[in-house]
Structure formats: C-alpha cells, structure tokens
Chains A and B, each alone.
Chain A
Amino acid sequence: MNFVLLIFLPIVAALFVPLLYRKLKNVHTGWFVLLVPVVLFIYYIGFIKTTMEGGHAISELKWIPSLGISFVSYIDGLSLLFTLLITGIGALVVLYSIFYLDKNKEKLNLFYVYLLIFMSAMLGVVQSDNVISLYLFWELTSISSFLLIGYWNTRDRSRFGALKSMMITVFGGLMMLGGFVLLGIMGDTFSIRELIANAPSFVGHEFFTLALVLVLLGAFTKSAQFPFHIWLPDAMEAPTPVSAYLHSATMVKAGLYLVARFTPIFAVSEVWIWLVTGIGLLTLFWGSLFAVKQTDLKAILAFSTISQLGLIMSLLGAGALAFHSDDPIFKFATFAAIFHLINHATFKGSLFMIAGIVDHETGTRDIRKLGGLMSIMPVSFTVAFIGTMSMAGLPPFSGFLSKEMFLQSMLAIRHFELFNFATWGIIFPVVAWIASVFTFVYSFYFVFKTFAGKQKSEPLPLKPHEAPIGMLVSPVILATLVVAIFFIPNLIGKWFVKPAVIAIQPSLYSHPSEVAVDVAAWHGMTDPAMWMTVAIVGVGLLLFLTMARWQKLYDIQPEYLSLNGLYDSVMLFSEGGMNKISRFYMTGLIRTYLIYMFAFIAAITAATLFIKEAFIVDMDSFSPVNLYGILTAIVLVIAVGMVLLAKTRLSAIIALGAVGYSVALFFVIFKAPDLALTQLVIETISVALFLLAFKYLPALNNHGETKRNKLVNLIIAAAVGITVTLVALSAHSQKMIPSISQFYKDTVATEAGGGNIVNVILVDYRGFDTLFEIAVLSIAGIAIFAMIRLKLSRKGESTDENK
C-alpha cells in the first residue's frame, strides 16, 4: 500500500467536517474526527516490528520530479516515535475536546478542520524525507497553529498570541528553508537520507556553518528555545486541548525532531554541539526560573514546557558528542533525550488537560484564587500529582528515570576533552542542577497551590465539582502511562527509543540491540546523580516552603526590559518606525524625487566613469572647429541664459524660441538639411503654442524659492551637466566599431531607389519608427482634444460645457 497518502488522510477528513457539523447537529462533531487519529494510530503501530529490527519503510509520491521534489513517507525509528505520539495523543486530545468544547456554543466545524490540518502537517513534518516537502508541512503547522491559537478570534489576547507565534515561527521557518537550500546545493539532492550519506563531504564547505545556523534557527523558533520562547506563553490563549496537543506534546517537538534528524549531518561541527547544548541548557534554566513567577496555571505549564524542551535539546547536543568520543555515556545522552521526549509528551499532555479541567470546573486558572480542590476533585488531583511528580523527577514516576539520565549525561560532559569542554564543561552540571531545583519548585507550586490547602475565602466563579468522566479519560490514560513507563522502561526502550537512537546516530550502530543502555531506577549509593537528586529534593522543598518570601524578587525586573518588551518594540518599530522613515523621504513633492533621481544619475555615472578609468579625451577623433559653429554656440548659450534669468513669461518663451532656432542653425552648419527644416517649423509651432497657452497660464513666479533651494538646484544641475559632458567626450573618444551608416550610403540608390538618405532611412530602412512616431502624434492630438473638451467634475459627474 502506498502509505504516503495516509499523511493526507486528516486533511481529506477535514473536508467532510463542515458537512457533518451541519447535517448531524445532535452529535458532537468530535466523535467523527476521533476516528481519524485512532485509525492512523492502529495502522502505524504495525511498523514497530520493522523499526525494532533497525529497518525502515518508505513510500513516495512524486510531486515535481524535474526539481527533485516529492512527498516521501520515510518511517524509521525516529519518525515512527513521533508519528505515534502525534496520532496517539491526537486521539486522546480529540476525545478530551469532545467534553471540553460545548457543541452548541463553539464553532466546532472550524476547530476540527484546523486540528485535522495540523495533524496532517505534523505527520508530514516527521515523515518527510524531502527537505522541501518537510518545509511545506512545517509552514502548514505554523499556519494551523496560528488558526488554533486565534480560535476565539473575538478576544484581543488570542489574536495577539496568534500573530506573535506566527511571526516568530514563520521567521524561523524561512531561515530553515535557507538552510535547506544550502544543504541542497552542497549535497546536490533534497533527500535527507542522501544528504546524510553525503554528509562527510560537507565538512569544511563554505556553506556548512551557515546552513547549520539557519536550520538551527528554524528548530529553535519552533521548539521555543531561548530567546524565541516568548511566543509559547502567549499561545496559551488557545483552547486547552490545543495547548495540550500543539504546545506541549507535538508541534513544539518539531524543532527537536529537526535537530535529531539532522544530527548525523551536523554533529561533526563544534558549533552545532555548543549551540544545541548551550541554548538548550540556557532555555532549561530560564524556563524553570520564570515558571515560578507565573500565576496562571497554563502559563506555569508553558514555561515548564519551554524548560523541558531545553532539557531535551541539551541532551541531543550532548548526544552529538558521541560522534567525537567513544565514551558510551554520550550515546546514552541521545537515549535519554528520546526517553524524556516520550515522558514529557505523556505527563505534560495530562497536566494541560488537568489545567483545562480546573478552568472548566472552577471558572478560573489563576493560582492565587485556587486552593483546596483536593477533596472536591480527587481524580484530577491524582492525575495532576502523578504528572507533576514525574515532572519534578521523583520516583516512582517516569520523570525520575529521565532526570537521572539527564544528570549523568551533564556530569559526563565535564570529561569531554575536545572543543574547550575541559575548561567550561563544569558549568553544564551546575546549571542543570539549579534548573532541576526550580523544576522541582514549580512542580510543587503547580499541584499544591491548586489542590492543597484551604479554599480561598473569595468564592470561585463556578461552584467546583469533579469533571465529567469523559473529560477525565484522556488524562487518566496518560497518567497511567507515566507510572507504567517507570516500571517498564526497558520495554519502552526496546520498542521506541533504541530504534529512534539508531536513526539519530546511524553511523554508530547497525542494529537497535547494539544500543547498550539499560535503564534502572537504582544505581547504587555511589552514583553522583542520585545524590544530586537528593540535594534537589532537599533544596527544592526548602525553597517551596519559603516561596512566599522570595517570589516577590521577580517583580524587580520591569516589564519593558524583558524579551517580550524587546519583541513589542521591534513590532512597534517595524510599523511606526518604518512609516516614519518612508514619510521622511517620501515627501510627496516632485522636486524631492527629481533631486533623488538626478543626484543618483550624476553620482553613479560619474563614479563609474572614474572607477572604471573610462574618462579619455582623444583630440584626434574630433573634427576641426568651425567659426560659424562657435558663433552659433555663443548665441545659444546667451539664449539659454535668458531663459534662466527671464523675469516675464514672454521673454522666457522668446528666449526658448531663440534656443530652438540656434539648434536649427547648428543643423544647417552640420549638414542636416531635413533636421533644420523640421526644427524650424516645429520650433515655430511650439512658440506659437506657448504663446497660445500664454493667455491662460499664470505669470512667472518663484513661489518663495529660497537661496538655499536655488543653490541645491544649481549644484545638482551642474553635476548633471558636467557628467553629460564628460560622458559625451569619453564616449566619442572611444568608438568600438565603425558606423553602420556606410551600408545606407552604399545601398540607398541601388536598393531603395532614393537619393535623400535620411528620408529613405525614415520611410524605407527604418519605417517602423516612423509609423509609431505618427501614432505618438495622433495620440497626443487626441489627448489634447480630450483634455480640452472632456471636463469631468471632481466627483465624477459629467458636466456638459455646452449647457
């Protein structure tokens, strides 16, 4: 079967959603939508057997074969893991949304269409083997995410959040496209597998580092890494099922997928390792630090997501060290990254759903108003407890295992010797440890401030009660998984993680069973990571209990000095600042624009003339000076001066006539009888026309032109005049080829049967010019007639002047 088509199944299903929504009013549309992820999940489970053997499945649909662009569904361990997350959590989220969104109050047709488009896009991102189609799906996730964040489009905050996430992720997407194109140039293919195969030849290529940085920009913006994380907290305006699905479990992991997928290409580079590990760790630290500051349940989870994504990112960076070192601990880091990715998707999905339930049942998400819900909502509390304890990294939950592996990997970085890690490596475990303490604090903050303690005296907007059973199914399933993973980590490892690891590090292994990682909850007393965990719990508890005292410290930093402040001012500048800039130079005055044009013509031409050393005057090429010529030139220059200095219209017009007649005289002197005739006649008519218009035109007036204006005009005019003279002289001195006129002179009698060469050229050799010159004259005539006769009033009503 051509399973690449399955990628498009959600989009095709989306076509029917509005129809179902309209025809079957009594059934929640979500029930039909639920079928899609369930079917896909069951279908894709069948691939586990293949990937466990280290194999892969591939299916291709040609799109633009001549450009090497096609839709390819390439399923290996890594793609399959993400595919199962997308479809599996997708199914749970759709189920949850059926109970979360009211079928009478919400526009469900739109919601599910967006969600299905997103699902297709996400499947495309993780299965594409072709970078161009990968980019296509990548942008589709940005667009569908934009639509979903702005789902409640009557709220300002929703639209702001949607726009912000769109701006940042599309910026990253475009950068990534640039990286892909550079990769395509380097490897001469768009196929990721072929790029990986060609990867050794990229090292040292001039585009290599640039492509690396551009691809990373795409990954960092999508995965909300520092400093691009700012869109994620604002994206929390989306309905909670969307936050759970897109902004914790799937879309934000697209960047991680990208980093993992391109690790075999870029991991040889020091820049890659430093950037991925460093930015990941910084994001981990930053996110955990600011999660404690938040008062909104979903905002806490957003910062926690940012932080956890940073953790996975730094592990992927540490895993890239395995390409340089034989130490097994670095191979272990990649395993830890994938393992935590699965853990995070499960516990974060459930936590978002719980936040949604709390919001749904109490009417607020503000943690300051909540408290004491433990006895009212026991099931929600249990799920939240499991999720947060896993997030904090405590046994017996899955997060404990990944946190241990994370600490071990970060400790191991100290011992890595290349790329200055011996000097700076100590920073990694220290920062990781501090971040883990804060993770512990916000996890406790989230669950205990919401569920423990007493109810606040102020009544909640709704009377709280336990959520309906349908809404609880999905979080309970996820929480069960969280606990289950703790007890069967090696089974998860064998089925999902090891096949994914060999996809990330194909050159190191040939079979998943060679990934020698055995996850154990107990490492013995000698393991430093265990003592670090103990210290985390100790310090974390202390900090949590004294939270009320030091949480105020966050208020020291003013809002406008934050990264959000920076984003806002960039946005303001790009709108208001750019407007100011264009208003500054777009004055609306023709003179200004003419000054730009003339100044640039003069400057560019003169500069070219001298840079290219083209200014040559060859006196020998000039014809002898002629006395009549000099006299006419003097007359002409005097006439020009009179035009400039004329005080009245009449003298200016007459002086212009004098210039025209001098030009006619030049035509006589330079043996051009036809020109002289035409010029005389035309000049006469022109002067007559000027005199005709004379009566209707205003008197000459300077309109208050200042000395400074005139000086500027003069400088620019002089520059243009001098440039023209210089270009004319050097052009005349450097004739490349002889004139074509010899042909006309030779053949005018024999070929055309005429004697006047100019006339024969006009009507015979180059008759087309003449035809269209006649056309120009006719058009001018018609236009003048129309302008005089057709007097439409300003408002477009015709007023007949004969009335």
Chain B
Amino acid sequence: MEFLMAIVVGILFMAAVYLILSRSLLKVILGTGLLSHGAHLLLLTMGGLGGNSPPVLADGVSVSDYADPLPQALILTAIVISFGVTAFILVLAYRSYAESKTDNMNLMKGNDEHD
C-alpha cells in the first residue's frame, strides 16, 4: 500500500509544483493547497500504514495493532497550521487584487526604484 501512496504523493507534489509555477495567483494558491495535502499524506505513509485499529485504547485490541499515533498527531498540527496560512494567503490575494488590479504573477514585481 505504501508503494501506491508514494506514487499518489508524487502526483500531488507534481500537480502542486506545476500550479505554483503558473502565472495566475489563484492557481498558485490552489497549488499550495495540493502541496499541503501531499505533505500530510506523505507523513502518514512514512509512519507506516499497517495498523489494524485506530490509536484509541479499546478492550481486546493488542498494542501492536494500533496505527502509529505520532504521525497522526503531527499531521493534525500541520493541517491546522496550513489552514491558517491558506486563509491568510487567500485574503492577501484578495487584498492584492483589490490594490493592484491584477493577478498576473509576471506583473507583480518590484519596480526599478526598489532595485
């Protein structure tokens, strides 16, 4: 299963990088969203996908059957943080569009005064 997941993660990264390199600001934000999904799945995959039951203590489940809880805790933290950042970028994009009237990344660059 990890083999398949590694490929899925690779596809997510590839799509994310492709979007981030594009000229439209909205696509760049979509790309960061895909990138964080890829990173979260990568974390989970690297922890091992072998667990038969969720990491919650229950009667009759042996310790070795629990899925690894540590990557899950890490991913949970990462999800919240990437959400905060995505929300921030989104509003930033809205504000920059309102100010500069463009979402073309090629036009968003310093002018010569700032060289």
Which A residues are closer than 8 A to B by beta carbons? 588-591, 594-595, 598, 617, 619, 621-626, 629-630, 633, 636-637, 640-641, 643-644, 649, 652-653, 656, 659-660, 663, 666-667, 670-675, 678-679, 682, 685-686, 689-690, 693, 696-698, 700-705, 712-714, 716-718, 720-722, 724-725, 728-729, 731-732, 739-742, 744-746, 748-749, 755-758, 761-762, 766, 769-770, 773, 776-777, 779-781, 783-784, 787-788
A-B contact pairs, 11 of them (CB 8 A): A641-B15, A643-B34, A652-B27, A667-B44, A670-B51, A673-B56, A675-B44, A693-B90, A697-B93, A702-B23, A724-B13
A718-B14, A721-B12, A721-B14 known; 17 other A-B pairs, CB under 8 Å? A622-B2, A625-B4, A640-B34, A644-B19, A666-B44, A693-B90, A697-B93, A703-B23, A705-B23, A712-B21, A724-B42, A728-B10, A728-B45, A745-B66, A745-B69, A769-B73, A781-B84
- Contact check, A717 vs B17: say whether CB atoms are below 8 A apart: yes
Residues on the A chain within 8 Å of B13, using CB: 717, 720-721, 724
Residues on the B chain within 8 Å of A656, using CB: 30, 33-34
Majority secondary structure, B binding face: helix
A660 to B83, CA, bound (A): 12
- Contact check, B10 vs A722: say whether CB atoms are below 8 A apart: yes
A714 to B106, CA, bound (A): 18
Residues on the B chain within 8 Å of A640, using CB: 11-12, 15, 34
- Contact check, A770 vs B77: say whether CB atoms are below 8 A apart: yes
- Contact check, B109 vs A589: say whether CB atoms are below 8 A apart: yes
- Nearest chain B CB to A707 CB, angstrom units: 13
- Contact check, B9 vs A678: say whether CB atoms are below 8 A apart: no
Q: Contacting A777 at CB < 8 Å: which of B3, B40, B84?
A: B84
A11 to B111, CA, bound (A): 48
- Contact check, A697 vs B103: say whether CB atoms are below 8 A apart: yes
Residues on the B chain within 8 Å of A761, using CB: 69-70, 73
Interface string of B42-59 (1 = CB under 8 A from A): 101111111111111110
Q: Contacting A757 at CB < 8 Å: which of B12, B69, B83?
A: B69
A689 to B89, CA, bound (A): 11
Q: A659-B37, A784-B88, A784-B91 are in contact. Are A757 and B2 (CB under 8 A)?
A: no
Q: Interface size of B by Cβ–Cβ distance < 8 Å? A: 85
A624 to B49, CA, bound (A): 9
- Nearest chain B CB to A113 CB, angstrom units: 38
Instruction: State the total of A-B contacts with C-beta under 8 angstroms.
Output: 275
- Contact check, B94 vs A696: say whether CB atoms are below 8 A apart: yes
- Contact check, B30 vs A652: say whether CB atoms are below 8 A apart: yes
Q: Contacting B54 at CB < 8 Å: which of A649, A673, A744?
A: A673
Residue of B nearest to A721 (CB): B14
A553 to B50, CA, bound (A): 90
- Contact check, B69 vs A788: say whether CB atoms are below 8 A apart: no
Q: Contacting A700 at CB < 8 Å: which of B26, B56, B73?
A: B26
- Nearest chain A CB to B42 CB, angstrom units: 6
A776 to B97, CA, bound (A): 25
Ranked nearest first, the 7 interchain pairs of A and B with the lowest CB-CB distance are A721-B14, A725-B10, A780-B84, A717-B18, A757-B69, A588-B109, A717-B17
Residue of B nearest to A640 (CB): B15
Residue of B nearest to A754 (CB): B57
- Contact check, B21 vs A713: say whether CB atoms are below 8 A apart: yes
A741 to B66, CA, bound (A): 10
- Contact check, B34 vs A659: say whether CB atoms are below 8 A apart: yes
Interface string of B21-41 (1 = CB under 8 A from A): 111101100100110011011
- Contact check, A675 vs B91: say whether CB atoms are below 8 A apart: no
Q: Contacting A729 at CB < 8 Å: which of B6, B8, B12?
A: B6
A741 to B46, CA, bound (A): 13
Residues on the A chain within 8 Å of B109, using CB: 588-590
Residue of B nearest to A655 (CB): B30
A758 to B68, CA, bound (A): 9
Residues on the B chain within 8 Å of A739, using CB: 47-48, 68, 70
Q: Contacting B73 at CB < 8 Å: which of A649, A758, A787, A788?
A: A758
Residues on the B chain within 8 Å of A758, using CB: 55-56, 69, 72-73, 76
A757 to B74, CA, bound (A): 12
A725 to B46, CA, bound (A): 11
- Contact check, A698 vs B85: say whether CB atoms are below 8 A apart: no
Q: Contacting A762 at CB < 8 Å: which of B14, B21, B77, B86?
A: B77
Residues on the B chain within 8 Å of A701, using CB: 24, 103-104
Residues on the B chain within 8 Å of A595, using CB: 21
- Contact check, B44 vs A671: say whether CB atoms are below 8 A apart: no
Interface string of B91-115 (1 = CB under 8 A from A): 1111101100011111011100000
Residues on the B chain within 8 Å of A670, using CB: 44, 49, 51, 67
- Nearest chain A CB to B39 CB, angstrom units: 9
- Contact check, A643 vs B15: say whether CB atoms are below 8 A apart: yes
- Contact check, B24 vs A703: say whether CB atoms are below 8 A apart: yes
A127 to B88, CA, bound (A): 65
- Contact check, B2 vs A672: say whether CB atoms are below 8 A apart: no
A718 to B11, CA, bound (A): 8
Residues on the B chain within 8 Å of A714, using CB: 18
Residues on the A chain within 8 Å of B21, using CB: 591, 594-595, 598, 712-713, 716-717
